[in-house]
Structure 1
Amino acid sequence: MLSSSTSRRSFSLRALLAAGLVAVPFAAFSADATRIGILIPGSKSDKGWMESGYDGLVAAQKKHGDKIKVQMIENINYADMEQALTNLASKNQLVIGVGGQTQAALLKVSKRFPKTKFSIVGGSKGDELPNVAGYDVKQAEIAFVAGATAAMLSKTGAVSYVGGMEIPSIVNAGKEFGKGAAYINPKIKYVENYTGNFDDVAKSKEATLAAIAQGADVHYHILNLGLRGMEQAAKEKGTHIIGSYTDRCGSDPLYIAYSITGVGYQVEYAIDEAVAGTWKAGYKPFGLAMGSKASDMSACGATPAMKAKIDEIKKDIQSGKIKVLEG
């Protein structure tokens, strides 16, 4: 999920591992500190999933101080994930993979380190191992709410979605975004595209421009650095974006709403549980049922009527009146 070359990424990882990984430059730690290893496969400054995960790590460090010692690997490609996770697992008590794309490698490595705890942020139901916890952010759930919000904000009656890899959780989120938009406006035009890469700026821009050419004026995404391409297209054509993961209303007029998917909240949750000695293996769904830190929708400058409608939809999803896909 990186935009740099494979050779550069591989060299950087080899250098990292040869040095015994790079500790996150936080406060000194106590001798009995809980050792935390975290893999952030993308950029921690992507304004998306990875940055939200990193924000959760920073929040946990501020909370726990010298009670934890953190080591982090950032910005690697898929071929290096197993090697990175192996090194983290050999040095830490808890290893966190930020993103469902870490799941396959993490499950494989966890079998070799039965005494190490592993948490997957964005984990889906699957193989259950005694030392692995999977935290499901329920992206499809909040994507339905985002679609409804987009339909209420659209002036053209057309909205779009750009996803990165075409994997079940990302595809399901796209389907639910379209369903949410149609829930508000049955005649709405919905344009859905996948780039095959969360970080490809050029492809994301191309997909967004294609949607704009079909009338879309509000765009949603599950991208990392690829979001830059969507931003470029929206700025050029005067359209708007619903951001993801963190509420940043007021920081950029390009963004008219944000869905909160609690990536950072789950990173912090895993660390809190490890420090408290209450960490548990198994699948754990988050989403709307876990409160606004885990999942929410913020429409910047929403009218009272719009806010009430969003709240109604969230309640209907939680009650089961509105049924959404997994993921």
Structure 2
Amino acid sequence: MMLTNRRRFLAASGACLAAGLLPISAARAQDAASKAGLLLPGRRDDGGFMQAGFAGFESATREMKAQTVIIDGVRPQKDELVAALRQIAAQGPSVIAAHGGQCNEAARIVAAEQPQIQFLVIQGGVEGPNLTSYEVLQEQSAWLAGAAAALMTKTGVVGHISGIRVPPGLKGRAAYAAGVAHAKPGVKLLTTFCGEQDDAALAAKVTVAQADAGADIIFTMLNAGRTGAIAACREKKIKQIGNVRDWVPVAPDVFIASAIADVSVAMSDGVTAALSGRLVPGQHVRLGVANGSAVRLAMAPDVPEAVRGVILAYTADIASGKIVVPTSYEGPEFSL
């Protein structure tokens, strides 16, 4: 689906712009103030980060009775993101939400061109007169995931797999590594950025390689590629910690926990505030473990009570500032 959407977008964008017709799923409205745009540099049904953002956008626009202009399946390349944002802006929405830190620069460019539109970047790090970032601090739940993995590993080796090296993924890896080291300093960490969020075969290959190197618990920060990691965990009889949403009910035989970073909360909050006129432009809004609906570690029912108690204490320490979660990692990486 992602490839099909991208091909349609790339092939049609130039001609459609010239003709005044746009290849976007849009419900056209007379009132521009009741229209919101969304850019997803990935699939809206990826089962992970993109789908969570799409769900938050749908919830907010449904509640606010706003018409929508949506483009998904765009590659996370600046030129393509800029072109997609310009297409959405041409439809006259009052707010455009770009999902993911990979949209930072594209949003900065198009926001400067369209001062009458309020731009949001979810998981972003940019601000401006009509540009606001909302960030769910997924590194806080990733830190808790690292602590849980270290406390529950039986081999003394844990893994981490992510796709592309965007700021949220890099922060999450750094936090996970810190959580491992804090909870049990002797545990070895294997960490890999495989280069693709949605490639199930590649995710399975990396999972098997880390399992063969001794990892018995792997923290995955993937989107559609997670299905491959789940299958490989079953094959190797090891456990996984998910991210963004709660994966324990989805595959209870594989997942022992999930580092919840519910970006749907940030998306919904931001879009609702913008459409209602309550948004203060130029802010950087952050949601962490102090907001348990957005950020927390969800644990499987069979996680030992002793581990649960330690994780709850760590959560309180992060919320209070007693534990400061790092966002950079200088350690070794695992290669195939």
Trace 1:210-229 onto structure 2 (pairs within 5 A).
210-229=209-228
**Structure 2: distance between partners of 1:31 and 1:92:** 9
Give CA-to-partner distance per residue, 1:220-258, whole Å, 9 cap, x none.
122222223322321221222211111243221222211
TM-score if structure 1 supplies the norm length? 0.88
SS of 1:88's equivalent? helix
For residue 59 of structure 1, report the CA deviation from its aligned partner. Answer: 2.2
Conserved 8 A contact 2:260-2:294: yes
- The match for 1:262 is 262
RMSD: 2.6
For residue 266 of structure 1, report the CA deviation from its aligned partner. Answer: 0.9
TM-score if structure 2 supplies the norm length? 0.86
SS of 1:111's equivalent? helix
Q: Which AA in structure 2 matches 1:39?
A: L
**Structure 1: distance between partners of 2:249 and 2:188:** 28
Is the aligned partner of 1:118 residue 2:122?
no
Q: Which AA in structure 2 matches 1:305?
A: A
- The match for 1:315 is 316
Q: Which AA in structure 1 matches 2:52?
A: S
For residue 325 of structure 1, report the CA deviation from its aligned partner. Answer: 2.2
Is the aligned partner of 1:300 residue 2:303?
no
**Structure 2: distance between partners of 1:183 and 1:220:** 16
**Structure 1: distance between partners of 2:72 and 2:12:** 10
Trace 1:82-161 onto structure 2 (pairs within 5 A).
82-90=82-90, 91-124=92-125, 126=126, 128-161=127-160
- The match for 2:40 is 40
Q: Tell me, which stretches of 5 or more residues in structure 1 are unaligned?
A: none
- The match for 2:236 is 237
Give the percent of matched residue pairs that are identical in Structure 1 and Structure 2: 28
**Structure 2: distance between partners of 1:21 and 1:136:** 26
Q: 1:71 aligns with which of 65, 69, 72?
A: 69
Conserved 8 A contact 1:100-1:122: yes
- The match for 2:26 is 23
How many equivalent residue pairs? 319
- The match for 1:174 is 173
For residue 272 of structure 1, report the CA deviation from its aligned partner. Answer: 1.5
Conserved 8 A contact 1:13-1:76: no
Conserved 8 A contact 1:71-1:88: yes
Conserved 8 A contact 1:13-1:80: no
Q: Which AA in structure 2 matches 1:71?
A: V
For residue 107 of structure 1, report the CA deviation from its aligned partner. Answer: 0.8
Conserved 8 A contact 2:43-2:72: yes
> Is the deviation greater in 79-88 or in 31-40?
31-40
Give CA-to-partner distance per residue, 1:240-289, whole Å, 9 cap, x none.
22111112432212222111112111110012102321112221221223
> Is the deviation greater in 194-203 or in 291-300?
194-203
For residue 30 of structure 1, report the CA deviation from its aligned partner. Answer: 8.5
Query: Are the structure 2 counterparts of residues 63 and 218 from structure 1 closer, same or farther at C-alpha, using a change threshold of 3 Å?
Result: same
**Structure 2: distance between partners of 1:236 and 1:15:** 48
Query: Are the structure 2 counterparts of residues 217 and 12 from structure 1 closer, same or farther at C-alpha, using a change threshold of 3 Å?
Result: farther
**Structure 1: distance between partners of 2:255 and 2:15:** 38
- The match for 1:191 is 190
Give CA-to-partner distance per residue, 1:154-194, whole Å, 9 cap, x none.
23222111122224432232122122122222211210001
Q: Tell me, which stretches of 5 or more residues in structure 2 are unaligned?
A: 329-336
**Structure 1: distance between partners of 2:203 and 2:276:** 42
Conserved 8 A contact 1:169-1:326: no
Query: Are the structure 2 counterparts of residues 61 and 217 from structure 1 closer, same or farther at C-alpha, using a change threshold of 3 Å?
Result: same
Conserved 8 A contact 1:34-1:274: no
Conserved 8 A contact 1:2-1:199: no
SS of 1:75's equivalent? coil
Conserved 8 A contact 2:13-2:22: no
**Structure 1: distance between partners of 2:203 and 2:255:** 16
**Structure 2: distance between partners of 1:164 and 1:247:** 19
Conserved 8 A contact 2:111-2:131: yes
For residue 23 of structure 1, report the CA deviation from its aligned partner. Answer: 2.6
